[in-house]
A and B are shown apart, each in its own frame.
Chain A
Amino acid sequence: MYPSDKHTIPPKWPLKLLRNFLKTSYLEEIEGDMEERFQDNLETFSVKKARRLYAWDTLKLLRSTLMKKMGGDYQLNHYRMLRHNLKISWRSMMKNKVFSGLNILGLASGLLCSLLIFLWIFDELATDNYHENSGRLFSIYERSFSNGKVNGYYHTPAHLYRELKLKFPEVEKASPSVSPITRTFAHGSKTLKRTGNYVSPDYFGMFSYEFVSGNVAYAITGPKDIAISKEMAESFFGSAQNAVGKSLTYENESQFNVSAVYEEAGPSTMSENHFFLHWDVFCAENKWTQSWNNNSPNTFIQLADQVDAAVFEPKIKDFLIGYNSNINEDFNIELYMQPYGERYLNSNFENGYISGGRIVNVRIFGLIAFFILLIACINFMNLASASSLKRMKEIGVKKVLGVKRVNLVSQFLSEAVLLSLISTIVALALLVVLLPSFNKLAGKTIHLIDLSVYSWGVILATSLLTGLLAGSYPAFMLSSFRSIDIIRKKLQSGFGLQWVRKGLVVFQFSLSVILVCGMLIVSRQIDYIQNKNLGFDRTNLLAIRLEGDQGVEYDVFKNRALKLPGVESLSATWGSPVQIGGGTFSIEWSGKEENDLTSFVTIPASGDVVKTWGCELIAGSDFTDGSKNYEYILNDTAVKAMGLEDPIGQPLSQWGMDGKIVGVIRDFHFETIRTSIEPLVIRHATNYASLSDVLVKINPINAREIVAALESLHTELNPAFPFEYYFTDSQYDRLYESEIMFFNLSQSFAFLAIFISCLGLFGLVLFIAQQKVKEIGIRRVLGASIVSITTLLAKDFMKLILFSILIGIPIIWYLMDKWLDGYEYRINMPWWAFGIAALITIGIALLTLSFHSIKAASANPVNSLKSE
């Protein structure tokens, strides 16, 4: 029995829901049914359960047959208002096709631009951040202290991963890795080169890969296993399924068995790796890995579940003491951890601490997206508030008829949202068309299909917010007028809010000037980088990999290559002069102080190095092949760092190899010009097997034939390895990839910003000309020339634009000065860039202004004056 005296009532909110949505004619019956059922349920179940059932049943009642129809007599009032608003919006849009077209075009281009940037940012943020164990993956980095200087880097000893896992139970998995290395593989008659990496068996358990076929957990268990990418499997075996279990010949010497075929699961910095081999393979190839004093590979660890990284990190800080024999009171290396997902965007070091990196670009582009969207919104506000003067009557009449301000605001807002939704659709359509070229420009592989629900949510939210933002000003401004003023036409075009519109124009154009000017200065700096005299001649310098027996046979290769017409000189080296990295303290010279810890960059090279690289020899001589003594060539900076008066013939020893200085060359840039030139020691390499590349200086006139001749020579001497070469200037350009990408993108965005601003300007002139149509007519009749009328119309706007240039220039000067400070070698602030940016802006604005002004001025005054 239900207690009739103390009537237990069902929960309130479902009832409210019912009353809102159910057809009113059904309400009494259904409400009664629900109540009766609730009371029934009370008899069998607890009060809580009965209430729960009641709520659940209510939700099940929301069916189309029982709900109020969106139409007919049961129409919801809000819905009706919304429909009215949309209808009015549509009509006013159709009435002013040019205006709405401009509005939509402006908003769409703004949205398109920010959509592209969003996609780019999403991709950047997702890079390396999608792994299942992401929260537990860390990258180890070192901080070295010497001479009061602190350096930070990701290079670690080769066996650090193993020792960390052994000594700390908190470290569940660990793996090293190196920068991708190119190796030659063969299967049957197929010989191909692929880049890949060397890792520990833990690797595939730490990082998420999609396995196309093969054994997932045991991808690399033994030193004979190889895991390859789907692309590599397909090029060797036709399909991924065929690959597993087959063997591949590595560097024409050893065999590996394909254990698994994988695919990248997301945007990753590891995507260049087409194969993974056991770390022991790498260690066997590189003897230096045996010493704990050498730091080069990266080390990644995965912490066990529940381990607090902040608690664990201090435990590994002094781990290297006892392992690295260089550590003493004057020199120390400490270990730290960085979450793996953060590394892609934050990989720069400043005084040993991680400070930024790509994240800076992400922020800058985020800001640009925001500002371009803002320009588009301002455009919209300007056009909407100007054109709405025409709709004053509508507002006035509505107000008189008792329409509340809220309703007017909602009307204008829904109009703006409608427009911004249309613009979003236009922008998305454009996006589909432009995405392939954008991917090319930004070096990404973004597909719209791969976008997550979250990203779509952000896009939709941006579109709605843009609509609301753009619509807010006209909505609140227009609805605030007193109807009496409107009807009495007291509000003319000169109402007090004109300064807002002017302010918006100034803001827009300041931003445009900033973007254009920034683009010009960035382009100058890039030009400077590309054409700077680096101190060596990187043009017509060809690099060929030394591999197989070629190291041993280098003399033969050199002699025969030199006989080819067009080959000027050859020198073997490790890497290339474009990018020489790595430093050592182990250089001894006469007069070196006890605890001098100057770091020298070193590179081994064979004979004719100075000639081939095109450096300038200040003193001494080049290396000659065949000399068995240890010889060294220094750069100017190194001589100064050593404090040698007459360096030629002085003794010098690197890593215990006692020899003599034979030459001094003028400083050249062997790193990016963001950094200053460091002391360099070139060591004469007598053992060619330890070198990696042959650099060939060729005559550019018949480059194609020379390359072909070199290829046939290479194939003859080294048949097991495909011929591969690159020009060093293309390698140089790759060093500045991010600058070039930044420039390309900012160029597009700057023009887009100007375009949108001009659309707005065009709309405003159109509006003013319409307003002043009578005035123009009368002036024309009284004998004013077209020029004077155009000036009349454009004068005010030109003032605004000049003003915005004055505002924009100091801001961009400040910003660009800071950007250029990031380069050790930078251009001086090019003042003409400001002039050109100003001229471009003024020119485009004038063009826009005069386009319509002239049309208005040259119209026949009879047409404008005949009606009153």
Chain B
Amino acid sequence: MEIQRDLEARLNERLSVGAIQTALKRMEEKGFLVSEWGEATQKRGGKRKRIYQATPYAHRVLREMKDIRAQLWKAMPELGISKT
């Protein structure tokens, strides 16, 4: 729930529970996330929360992706020049 609120605030867009949940479940399947049950509150109608945490593997992949992107960004002006 916190994830959703955070993302909604950042993106300034309404997201559905389904969108978040699908992403989470798929990332968990791929091993980017681990999760455990959290506490139950009255607001949640007595249902437990699930707390998600990124795995070290996920951090590694993210960093790799960031690097690749950075390289691509760097390559862009060059491309622009060579084109002319």
A interface residues (Cβ-Cβ under 8 A, vs B): 2, 4, 7, 26, 28-37, 39-40, 56-57, 60-63, 65-66
Contacts and interface: CB of A to CB of B under 8 A. Distances in A.
Interface centre among B25, B40, B44 (most CB of A within 10 A): B44
Interface stretch (B47-55, B63-71, B72-80): B47-55
Contacts of B25: 26, 65-66
Contacts of B43: 2, 35-36, 39
Contacts of B5: 40
A611 B61 CA distance: 104
A33 B17 contact: yes
B17 A34 contact: yes
Given A36-B44, A37-B17, A61-B18, 5 more contacts: A29-B48, A31-B45, A36-B1, A65-B22, A66-B21
Q: What 3 A-B pairs are tightest by C-beta distance, nearest first?
A: A32-B47, A60-B18, A60-B16
A36 B21 CA distance: 14
B19 interface: yes
A36 B49 CA distance: 10
Given A57-B16, A57-B18, A61-B21, A29 B42 contact: no
B21 A32 contact: no
B59 interface: no
Interface centre among B5, B25, B40 (most CB of A within 10 A): B25
Contacts of A4: 42
Contact of B44 (A32, A56, A60): A32
A190 to B, nearest CB: 57
A34 B16 CA distance: 10
Nearest to A59: B18
Contacts of A39: 43
Given A39-B43, A65-B22, A57 B17 contact: yes
Contacts of B20: 33
7 contacts: A28-B47, A32-B47, A32-B49, A33-B21, A33-B44, A35-B47, A37-B1
A28 B25 CA distance: 14
Contacts of B60: none
Nearest to A62: B18
Given A4-B42, A35-B45, A60-B19, A29 B50 contact: yes
Which secondary structure dominates chain A's binding surface? Answer: helix
Given A57-B17, A60-B16, A66-B25, A33 B1 contact: yes
A28 B47 CA distance: 6
A35 B17 contact: no
A63 B47 CA distance: 22
Nearest to A64: B22
A657 to B, nearest CB: 88
Interface string B1-42: 100110000000000111111100110000000000000111
A26 B29 CA distance: 13
B48 A28 contact: yes
Given A65-B26, A66-B22, A32 B17 contact: no
Range of interface residues on chain B?
20 to 34
Nearest to B46: A32
Contacts, number: 64
Nearest to B16: A60
A29 B49 contact: yes
Contacts of A29: 47-50
A28 B37 CA distance: 10
Nearest to A56: B16
Contacts of A31: 45, 47
Nearest to A37: B17
Given A26-B25, A37-B4, A61 B45 contact: no
Contacts of A35: 43-45, 47
Contacts of A2: 43
A78 to B, nearest CB: 24
A689 to B, nearest CB: 81
Given A35-B44, A39-B43, A61 B16 contact: yes
B52 to A, nearest CB: 10
A562 B16 CA distance: 92
A4 B41 CA distance: 12
A32 B21 CA distance: 12
A30 B24 CA distance: 11
A61 to B, nearest CB: 4
A39 B49 CA distance: 15
Nearest to B20: A33
B17 A30 contact: yes
A575 to B, nearest CB: 74
A323 to B, nearest CB: 70
Nearest to B44: A32
A200 to B, nearest CB: 57
A567 to B, nearest CB: 86
A457 B4 CA distance: 42
Nearest to A30: B21
A36 to B, nearest CB: 5
Contact of A61 (B17, B41, B42, B49): B17
Contacts of B17: 30, 33-34, 37, 57, 60-61
Contacts of A63: 18, 22
A60 B14 CA distance: 13
A29 B48 CA distance: 6
A4 B44 CA distance: 12
A754 B82 CA distance: 81
A21 to B, nearest CB: 12
Interface centre among B18, B20, B26 (most CB of A within 10 A): B18
Contacts of B49: 29, 32-33
B40 A32 contact: yes
Contacts of A56: 16
B5 to A, nearest CB: 8
B42 A32 contact: no
Nearest to A61: B18
Contacts of B40: 32
Contacts of A61: 16-18, 21
A28 B26 CA distance: 18
Contacts of B42: 4, 7
B1 to A, nearest CB: 5
Contacts of A7: 42
B31 to A, nearest CB: 15
Contacts of B19: 60
Interface centre among B1, B5, B17, B25 (most CB of A within 10 A): B17
A35 B48 CA distance: 11
Contacts of A26: 21, 25
Contacts of A66: 18, 21-22, 25
Contacts of B22: 63, 65-66
A374 B50 CA distance: 59
Contacts of A40: 5
A425 to B, nearest CB: 36
A29 B18 CA distance: 12
A800 B5 CA distance: 78
A7 B44 CA distance: 11
A33 B50 CA distance: 9
A56 B14 CA distance: 12
A40 B20 CA distance: 16
Nearest to B35: A29
Given A37-B1, A65-B25, A66-B25, A32 B18 contact: no
Contacts of B45: 31-32, 35
A39 B5 CA distance: 13
Contacts of B21: 26, 30, 33, 61, 66
A30 B20 CA distance: 10
A802 B80 CA distance: 93
A376 to B, nearest CB: 46
Nearest to B48: A28
Interface centre among B20, B21, B22 (most CB of A within 10 A): B21
